[in-house]
Amino acid sequence: MNIFFPKEPEIEKRVSLTLETAEKFSKLGLKIFIEKSFSEHIGTSDEDFAAIGVKIVSRDEGFLDANLVCSVRNLQEEEIDKIKPSTLLISFLDPFNEKVLVKKIKEKNISAISMELVPRITRAQKMDALSSQANLAGYSSVIIASQELQKALPMMMTAAGTISPSKVFVIGVGVAGLQAIATAKRLGAKVEAFDTRPVVEEQVKSLGARFVKIDIGETGETEQGYAKELTPQQIEMQREGMKKVCASADIVITTAQVFGRPAPTLVTSEMVSAMSQGSVIVDMAVGTGGNVEGSVPNEIVDIDGVRIVGNTNLPGELPFHSSQVYSSNIFNLIDEFWNEEDKKLNIDISDEILSICLVSHEKEFINKTIKEIME
């Protein structure tokens, strides 16, 4: 079987294959192809890949000969026509927003796995790309915020006086939020955090942060471990409870997203105006509508002296390590379903992982939610 890794668009610094995972794919018996200048921007040359048996081809050649195509970003619609029927495509498909592309993939009889849809179950942890990228995004959010802030994060005792620690408030304690808390604490900040799920309070405290308690009524989490969507009334109660905490914070990091739906607005323009000049907000949900009023995708805007960072690709700020874990996620997924005897993938649509992350197969939609919204 041939596996092809196309070059990502210029705006994307992450890649879907590293030298380490290329060697693992070779041991499975796969023939590996990459597009020319695949990852030179992160220090890995075509010659490095060629030295371990990877073939360098043009983009069109790669699509034409591939049985498997793996990428970070979606392909263009016209590129789907270049892929053979029955090929398996693996990437962040963004199926809820890319309906035309997903429909074309199904009609072309291309099987497609959306890495966002890998379920959060124990067996699938090693292939959970959403979590591996969110972890790095949480780290990156704090580093970027610290660069934009005009203050030091840790308390410092100097001969000229004591510098008080900066205050960081993290809204949403999922994978990204926990890493943001841990990173801010390592840098010496005073950290507070809030989540609609009271069950995460112990995790927050274990990292040395204070858990902000706001009574918004009955809440919970989904089977996948995500916070359940709040009612408009609960969102308003949450805003009221967070207002004072935001006003005293130097950095606010928002992480609340509802997969497949617009992100809830948690920080209003009124709350932004109440923050001190020079404060920084990082809206990690800006790519799906945003948690902060006034945030703009891929821009840093200044509102009354408060800087709002709208970076839509925080993992991409750390392309070496985000590529390392993403390529490992892809390998682990393929390895899980690899038939060693036949040297091919065993696509079982009844499998607890594939039944969820497999969007299309043999001209049928497999994921139930995707099937409902597409049909």
Which residue intervals of 149-276 are DSSP H helices? 175-186, 201-206, 232-248, 269-273
Residue 367 C-alpha from the chain's centroid: 20
**Integer CA distances (angstroms), 369 to 132, 259, 320, 358, 360, in order:** 23, 12, 33, 11, 12
Q: Which of 186, 148, 144 lies closest to 165, judged by CA?
A: 186
Q: To 5 degrees, how large is the angle CA 144–CA 201–CA 306?
A: 30
Longest dimension (CA), the chain: 72
Phi and psi angles of residue 309, each rounded to the nearest 5 degrees, phi first: -90, 125
Phi and psi angles of residue 332, each rounded to the nearest 5 degrees, phi first: -60, -35
As a whole number of angstroms, the distance between CA 129 and CA 264 comes to 23
For the packed helices 319-336 and 129-148, what is the interaxial angle rounded to 10 degrees? 170
**What one-character DSSP code corresponds to residue 267?**
B
Q: Catalytic positions, please?
A: 120, 125, 128, 131, 226
What's the chain's length in residues? 375
**What one-character DSSP code corresponds to residue 4?**
E
As a whole number of angstroms, the distance between CA 72 and CA 16 comes to 6
Q: To 5 degrees, how large is the angle CA 60–CA 61–CA 65?
A: 120
Q: Residue 27 burial (CB < 10 Å; 0-12/13-18/19+)?
A: exposed
